[in-house]
Structure 1
């Protein structure tokens, strides 16, 4: 499967403006052969914790992903603040929409307490893995990247991890290093999709989106501008790596 990460800026708290800006970027990714297009964390609002920023599950952001998936015949992923029926606070929800109309959700396990996300967002409960043909995909979100144990839990059932983010520039070295570490230690592809630009709260983002192989090799990278990061991922390569270097069976709980 060819995966494209759209490294993009975000108009603060303006869904319609972001939909308008992102639609042609998605089309360019599809034109480059992408079968799965990944947008950033909170692609439609920015990493805002303004009260009332949440939208209903299946709201405008999820519909944008589903509409693009149907329009182009591809899979679409990104995160948005979604309020479930059983609560007032939103989840930071990763929505994966398929060309057949199917939708899968993963809810961010680790709210970013350093920035107060735990006060504005609910925590999810468990990882989610989705099979697309022979490819097994597990999404995580931004701060989740710091917690190796949840990546380990999903490793045996995963070929590729998707990690959309709003990762700040002052800790860009952490972002780049942890993406490679998660690929190496789990012998799986890792697709990191980070935003660029300045958020409405003044936080700077440098992008550094990348696709990492099961051996930790950089297959595609980007710096600090809006661009596409594209690479082919193959579940057979994951299995071959794990058969050749049998590290995972040596793990002890």
Structure 2
């Protein structure tokens, strides 16, 4: 499967402006042969914790993804603030993966970013979600989740590729780069990291550094700090072959490798 990570800027808290900016970038990725297109964390609003920023599950951001998936015949995903459970509930930082046939899957960020107070404005999800698309087993995580190796370990036996959309700050870009590569190496799986560029409404700078990493930790595609796209082919047979050649996962204590 050919995967594209669209590294983009975000207009702060302006969904329509972001939809207008992203539509041609998604079209470009589809035109380059991408079968799955990854956008960033909170692609339609920026990493905002303004009260009321949440939208209903299946709201405008999810509808945008579904529309793009149908128009271009691709799978497409990114995260957005979605409310489930009543108007008074806190939103989830929800990764929505939409398919060209109208299928929609959701993963809710497990680890709110307490350093910035996300835990006060967003609810935490309950567990990893793995989706099979065209024979490829896909497990999404979101930004801060990247720091918690245990959840990647738990999902590894059933994962060929991890998707990690983010609004990771430039001040800790070395952490982003290193952790993405570590998650690929230790789990012998592909990792696709898609980070935004530009300056958020709260003044936080973002450097991009989106990348696609092989099960051996090799950088298959990388980006610097501008709006662009990284593109690479991923193959579940490469994951299976790596794990068969180097049988590291069964040696994890307490790991489930059924």
Instruction: Answer with 82-91 or 163-172: which moved more.
Output: 82-91
Residue 218 of structure 1 corresponds to 219
Q: Give the 3-state SS of the residue equivalent to 2:242 in structure 1.
A: helix
2: distance between equivalents of 1:119 and 1:229? 34
Please, which runs of 5 or more residues in structure 2 have no aligned partner? Answer: none
Residue 52 of structure 1 corresponds to 52
Q: Give the 3-state SS of the residue equivalent to 1:191 in structure 2.
A: strand
Residue 176 of structure 1 corresponds to 177
Deviations 1:14-48 (A, max 9, x none): 00000000000000000100000000000000000
| Shift of residue 118, structure 1, vs aligned partner | 0.1
Please, which runs of 5 or more residues in structure 1 have no aligned partner? Answer: none
Q: Tell me how many residue pairs correspond in the alignment.
A: 253
Residue 150 of structure 1 corresponds to 151
Residue 136 of structure 2 corresponds to 135
Residue 41 of structure 2 corresponds to 41
| Shift of residue 154, structure 1, vs aligned partner | 0.2
2: distance between equivalents of 1:91 and 1:142? 14
2: distance between equivalents of 1:64 and 1:234? 28
Residue 123 of structure 1 corresponds to 124
CA RMSD of aligned residues (A): 0.5
Residue 99 of structure 1 corresponds to 100
1: distance between equivalents of 2:18 and 2:117? 24
Instruction: Answer with 82-91 or 39-48: which moved more.
Output: 82-91
2: distance between equivalents of 1:94 and 1:23? 18
| Shift of residue 85, structure 1, vs aligned partner | 2.3
| Shift of residue 124, structure 1, vs aligned partner | 0.1
Q: Give the structure-1-normalised TM-score.
A: 0.99
| Shift of residue 138, structure 1, vs aligned partner | 0.1
Deviations 1:179-209 (A, max 9, x none): 0000000000000000000000000000000
The reply on whether 1:4 has 2:4 as its aligned counterpart is yes
Instruction: Answer with 155-164 or 78-87: which moved more.
Output: 78-87
| Shift of residue 88, structure 1, vs aligned partner | 1.4
The runs of at least 4 consecutive aligned structure 1 residues that moved more than 6 Å come to none
2: distance between equivalents of 1:58 and 1:76? 15
Residue 189 of structure 1 corresponds to 190
| Shift of residue 134, structure 1, vs aligned partner | 1.0
